[in-house]
Homo-oligomer: A and B are copies of this chain.
């Protein structure tokens, strides 16, 4: 089981003893998924919070008209879950689908409770992770409110160059909240500007 990347990641926030690390490792699940598979589908209960070891996922909402609205992508060293569904064990709002063959470390709800009970440091760790996620989420809201489509695209391109390389352009458009045609127009505009 490849747990090194996770333990290394955690070590940036709190330091666990060997014993604690072993306990943690005993509680998590390591699993590979294939491109196209789903971790959660909207309406299901999200059973796991996951740390991505390798690969890529998209988290999206599908509206009544069948349109996909992409919330986020996750790659190596990122977390993914439908937090609302996982925490409250209620039906998920979002789908999480693998865009590449992906290796994950998965925390079930029970494992999470067990870990909090036995390793209080992890309470601190996850608080800090979620604080960061919340801050990023708030900043995204403000970007969506205050930036033009072009500026949002430039921000995305600049902030996540690794991601832009790996996913089709229509998914970037969906993430930015614009149509694929309009993104295509923006990109050709940007090219002709130079």
Residues of chain A whose beta carbon lies under 8 Å from any beta carbon of chain B: 61, 63, 67, 69, 71, 83-84, 87, 93-94, 116, 120, 123-124, 126-127, 130-131, 133-135, 137-142, 144-146, 177
Contact = CB atoms under 8 A, between A and B. Distances in A.
Contacts of A94: 142
Contacts of A120: 120, 123
Contacts of A71: 138, 141-142, 145
Contacts of A145: 61, 69, 71, 144, 177
Given A120-B120, A131-B130, A141 B139 contact: no
Contact of A142 (B93, B131, B133, B134): B93
A134 B124 contact: no
Nearest to A70: B145
Nearest to A64: B146
A130 B134 contact: yes
A19 to B, nearest CB: 19
17 contacts: A61-B145, A61-B146, A69-B145, A71-B141, A83-B135, A83-B138, A84-B135, A84-B138, A87-B131, A87-B135, A120-B123, A123-B127, A130-B130, A130-B134, A133-B134, A134-B134, A134-B137
